[in-house]
Amino acid sequence: MRNFNKIDLIIFVLFLLFAIPGGIFIVLSGVNDSDNSDDSNDSKFSGTYFWVGLVLSIIAAIFMLVFLVRTGINLSEPTITNTNIRGVQQISPGVNLF
């Protein structure tokens, strides 16, 4: 994994700028509202909000894929690797463990 730079930060901020409003628009569309009445004219579903939210979410997903490819984050490996006992001893409070 390489270090982050300003372009990576810009891509991540763009992801947030598209993902948060996308989620808000999908929630505002009322797609998850349960309506038990049989009258379909009484539904509060807004297709416009849903499609705007879906498009924003797709754009956010593209930015996240670009971010993951640029930074080289491998999501299948653990975050902390290559630890040794000497590194663990250095953070102990002055007691020699071995």
User: In the prediction, which pLDDT does 82 show?
Assistant: 54
pLDDT at 17 over 80: yes
Burial degree of 58 (CB within 10 A; 0-12, 13-18, 19+) = exposed
Output 47 or 93, whichever has higher pLDDT: 47
As a whole number of angstroms, the distance between CA 9 and CA 22 comes to 20
pLDDT band per the 50, 70, 90 thresholds, residue 28: confident
Spans of all domains in the chain: 6-76
- Taking the C-alpha atoms of 58, 35, 42 and 57 in order, what is their torsion angle to the nearest 10 degrees? -10
As a whole number of angstroms, the distance between CA 67 and CA 5 comes to 11
